[in-house]
Structure 1
Amino acid sequence: MTSTVATRGPVRVVGTGLLGASVGLALTTRGVEVVLHDPSRTALALARDVGAGRPATPDDAPPALVVVAAPPDVTADVVLAELAAFPDAVVTDVASVKGSVLDELRAAGADLTRYVGSHPMAGRERSGPAAAVPELFVGRPWVVADSGTSSAAALLAVRALAVDLGAVPVDMEATAHDAAVAVVSHVPQVVSSLVASRLRDASDQALGLAGQGLRDVTRLASSDPALWTSILAANADAVRGVLRDLRGDLDVVIAALDRAAAATGPETVELGALAAIAQTVADGNAGAARIPGKHGGAPRTYEVVTALVPDTPGELARLLADVGDAGVNLEDLRLEHSAGRPVGMASMWVLPGRSEHLEAELSARGWRLVS
């Protein structure tokens, strides 16, 4: 398969971490010539070895498009250098912060007609070129942020890049983007890290009680500290605003719990304390219900069927094959391991009205279901 971004020369990718190497992999699989640059020779060699492209040389043809995949604190400097080195190229960056980068470029007098900020809303818990996958961007939003003077050709090139990589272009202004990612990405990272940090002093006995809920909340806590320090510092204004609001919400809950702790029984809890706690949980329900559903569509209600899966080779594959034989499509799947037991619980989300049929089919095939 060929790509629209390959029409005027190679694509140059600067920075071969997870995002840069994944961009390179996705383009090379589509027949696009990709040249790579990274100040780390080790990262550059690894990106080459995983198939993300080849190291740049002085004899390379000028690129039509440059993709800068550098940490936010150096992104503007790298973009400036690339704009100067390749005066006919469109330059975009994939940093997770857009406003501060644009401000630095504008202050430096950069040619913003050839610059378009962008941000693929995709990632993994692992980092580096070894974690790169060509499908990383498939079905994911890819923000395209006009510099204010970006040319139509530059905007088209970046939108084409997103489409070629399977993403969905979303036009956003830089500051609106930063406010949005503060809520949906940056603050969740901080909260996940804070909750996980409470586990440092937890007893082994307490950790032995951990279930899927704790794993879900702390999943992001394995992220790279250096990268996230750069991201949070670059988006400090937007993030601190959300965190201040969150601190206010926590103060309400703490005050309600103080009143509950001082009571001698449920009937003596100060008026309004229990309502404040319930309202916090209800507000969370309302917020969670707004998260887009499958493939980014409108949220939907599903039914869940849970089966016990022996922790032995081939059993999960057998379960999925039986679901397929039952003629039921899985909308989502979650596997949770039972503490101290050689089984897992596979929770399968299906469309309303399909759960009874699936339960009957799986029971007939010998699967033990969890009510």
Structure 2
Amino acid sequence: MDYLGKDIKKLGFGLMRLPMSEKDVDIEQTKEMVDLFMAKGFTYFDTAYGYIKGKSEEAVKTALVERYPRESFQLATKLPAWEADTAHKAKDMIYTSLERTGAGYFDYYLLHNVSASRNNTFNDFGIWDYVQELKAKGLVLHAGFSFHDKADVLDRILTEHPEAEFVQLQINYADWESESVQSRLCYEVALKHNKPIIIMEPIKGGALANPAQSVRKILQEANPKASFASWAIRFGASLDNIITVLSGMSTLEQMKDNLSYMDDFKPLSTEEKAVISQAQAAIAAIPSIPCTSCGYCLEECPQHINIPQVFEARNQHMVFDDLNGAKMSYRIAMMFGSSNPSKCIACSNCENVCPQQINIIETLKETTALLD
């Protein structure tokens, strides 16, 4: 099958979680990781304007751009227009990214984290048309967007913007049937629109590298030599129409592990897919808050608490025993629109409309105590 990026190897280096030395990127370890990655023939690097407060893009310049021929790799970065208060400031972001990286141009340029609410900013600032102008100038070779929202929103955006050449989606086997992330549904929408896909969060922020004991048992019995992360990355890479699967590697050891099974990548066999199905069933059996992200509570909450997003963070701890990841997801919810759950006034509006009959008020108190 011919599609954009079909010849790129199916492991990409995500530069959001680079090794750190105190508050700065550990540039020497990053160089080692880049060198090993390139030596094995892997060429796709993914950063963003805001990663590590700009230090990720700066590390790209030092560890990659200044040390390898520009045509020997693909570099992606992202434009978060919603961080700017004017169209001019938003449009100027690419020039900051070009200066930081020294790349000259970006092979893949993404509107960062497009969603139902944030797309208004991209529309109001004229960013969709702007990236086409950047393509005409040769500063961008291919333009698309990263996405964190529901499948119906993705369908609408791709219908309104057929010029998008690709989409970056959160896809992993734990979120495949998730009511909130909707990995499978979003994947199917992208296929419907004939858009190739870059996969992000294949290990769910590291949670699938150290899964729950019931999942560990299933995977270890199936293949005691395979790392838990390998199951997750190979799941994504085995799907159709995939440009690459991004792994946010933080150590040289993680890089070596990923390369050990992706250097000569083999898609999941029928038997291995059955193992993944067992792992998914084990995850579904772990007790969690039964929130389906229907959104009814959002319309009724006078304090503007994003209850589904808060519960998603809590479930990350309950299902994956990932307290650090849960706290990060909780903070992200606060950063992007939700009021702090501690502001709950116990009005019961949310509980009166919840189809799952969740004891929302008490669960919010428990979540705040754990994650705040």
Which structure has the bigger radius of gyration? 1
Q: TM (normalized to structure 2)? A: 0.31
Q: Larger relative contact order (C-alpha < 8 A, sep ≥ 6)?
A: 2
